[in-house]
Amino acid sequence: MTELSPAEAAKQLASIVGDKYVLTAPADMEAFLSEPRDLWHGAAACVVRPGSTGEVAQILAFADTHGLKIVPQGGNTGLVGGQTPDGSGREILLSLARLDKIREIDPESNTMIVEAGVTLQRVQETAESVDRLFPLSLASEGSCTIGGNLASNAGGTAVLAYGNARDLVTGLEVVLADGQVLDNLSKLRKDNTGYDVKHVFMGSEGTLGVITAAVLKLYPRPRGVETALIGLASAQACLDLLGLAQSMAGPDLKTFEFMSRFGVEIVVRHSTGTREPLEAAHQWYVLLELASQSETGLNDVMMSLLEAAFEKEIVEDAAVAASLDQRKAFWALRENLSEMQKFEGGSIKHDICVPVAQVPAFLADALPVVEATIPGARPVPFGHMGDGNIHFNVSQPIGADKQAYLGRWEELNAKVHEVVAKYHGSISAEHGIGVLKRDLLPAVKDKVAMEVMRRFKTALDPKNTLNPGKVL
C-alpha cells in the first residue's frame, strides 16, 4: 500500500464531496483545530465536510484502504480533546456539520429521526413545534450537535428525570471504520433480538464508528413549570432537600442543580444583568424545578415542599420564579457558571461522579485536599446533585501566574481523584475521556473492562482508522 501525501488525500476526498467541501488552507481550518478550553491545538491534512451518510461511508472506506486516520467532529464543543486532531498534520478531520437534516418526526410514536449535525437546540425546537419535549439540555445546546452528544453520552441538567443521552435513543445509523453502514434506525421501544449494538457506539467518542443519524425519544411537553432558587447552609442540607423533594414531588421533580457561594459570586461579578438572587448570601444554592403535564396544582406542590423544608430547618431562604424572566434569571446563574470562571484566571477542571448519598462527604474531604495541595486555590463545586455529578473546578489563587497554576493540573487531578476513588466514584461523569483522561483510565478502570474495550476497538477498527489516541 502506497502512502498518500496530504495533498493527494485531499484531492481524492474532493472527488467524493466536491472541492468546496474539502478545506486545506490554514485560515479555513483554524476553527476546527482548537477546542473550547484552548488546551489542545491540532493540525490536519484537511477538513472534509460530507453532506450525506453515503459520502461518510465513501470517506471511511477510502481512509481505511489507504491507512489514513480520521478524527470525527460535531459542534466542536467537547471538553476533553476528543474532537481535536494531533499535531502531525496528517490526520483528516471529518466535520459532520452538513449532516443537518431532520428526516422524520413522528409525534404518535414519540420519536424523531435526525442527522448527526443537527444542533441540540434545533432538535428541542422541532420537538416543541409538535407539542413534544426532547429533554436533553446543555449549556452549549446552541452549537453542540446530536452526533457529538451521543458519541460522548452527554449528561446535562435533565438526567435526574430522563437519563443521559444514551437513554434518549431507540436506534442509530453508524458508519463503521471500513465504510459499512449499520442501519439500525429503529423506533421500537422493545426489541429483544440479541445484542443491543447501539450502546457500543454511544459514549465511544468516535473511536468505534461514526454516528450519522439517530432515532430520538420524545416526551409529552410539560404544561406547568415551577422554578425555585434556594439558599442553604451546607452540602448536607442540599442532599436533605433532594430527598424531601423526591418524596414530595415524585416524578414532577425534573431539575436539582447545586452551586457553591463562590460560584454564584463569579456569575454575579462577571455576567451582565445578573444580581444576587436572594436577600442574603448563603454557602450553597439549589436550582430546583418541577414540571408536570397538569396546568394547575404544581405551585401548591412547590409551596408545600418549601414549607416542609423550612419547618425541618433544611433551607435558609427561597424564591419561586413569578415570571418567565425571573425563571431565566435563576437559570442564568447556573448556565453561565462555567463560562464566567475564565474571568477568575486559570481553572483546573474535574468532572466527577460519586454516589448521590456521598456528595457531602466527598466535598468535605476534597475541599481541604485542594487547600493543602495549592494554598489559596479557590474551589468552585457545582453541578447535578440529583445524579451525583459534580463539576469540581478549582480557580487559581488570587494573583497567581495562570500558566504556572495550570502546570499543576495533573498534580491536583491526582489528589482529587484519590478522594473520588475513596467513594467508588468516576473520574469522568459526562464529558468523556478523550485525550485529557486517556492516560488516567487504566488506573481507575477494571482491568477486564479495559480488555473488553480493547477487543471492541480491535474488532470494529482493526487498522485504528478512527480517532486514534483517544480513549485508549
SS3 label, residue 351 = strand
Q: Are the CB atoms for 205 and 467 separated by under 8 Å?
A: yes
Q: Are the CB atoms for 242 and 386 separated by under 8 Å?
A: yes
Task: Tally the C-alpha atoms within 13 A of residue 462's C-alpha that lie toward its C-beta.
Answer: 3
One-letter amino acid for residue 358 of the chain: Q
Amino acid 36: pLDDT: 85
Q: Is 378 left (phi over 0), alpha (psi -120 to 50) or beta?
A: beta
Q: What is the spatial distance between Cα 190 and Cα 68, in angstroms, rounded to a whole number?
A: 39
Exposed e or buried b for every residue in 177-208, given b needs 16+ CB within 10 A? bbbebbebbebeeeeeeeeeebebbbbbbbbb
Amino acid 2: pLDDT: 61
Amino acid 273: pLDDT: 85
The residues, any chain, with a CB within 8 Å of residue 145's CB and separated by 6 or more, are 74, 75, 96, 97, 116, 117, 118, 119, 120
pLDDT in tens, 190-213: 999 999 999 999 999 999 999 999
**Among 73, 88, 77, 86, residue whose Cα is nearest residue 37:** 77
pLDDT in tens, 166-178: 999 999 999 999 9
The mean pLDDT value for 357-382 works out to: 98
Q: What is the spatial distance between Cα 65 and Cα 443, in angstroms, rounded to a whole number?
A: 34
Find residue 220's DSSP bridge partners.
132
**pLDDT at position 4 over 90:** no
pLDDT in tens, 62-73: 999 999 999 999
Q: What is the mean pLDDT of the chain?
A: 96
Find residue 231's DSSP bridge partners.
285, 317
pLDDT in tens, 270-292: 998 888 999 999 999 999 999 99
Q: CA quadruple 266, 269, 270, 273: dihedral positive or negative?
A: positive
Amino acid 117: pLDDT: 98
* Grid-cell match 445546546, residue found: 141
pLDDT in tens, 295-306: 889 999 999 999
pTM of the model: 0.94
**pLDDT at position 139 over 90:** no
Task: Tell me the residue ranges of DSSP E strands in 197-297.
Answer: 210-217, 219-220, 224-232, 253-260, 284-292
Q: What is the spatial distance between Cα 190 and Cα 359, in angstroms, rounded to a whole number?
A: 35
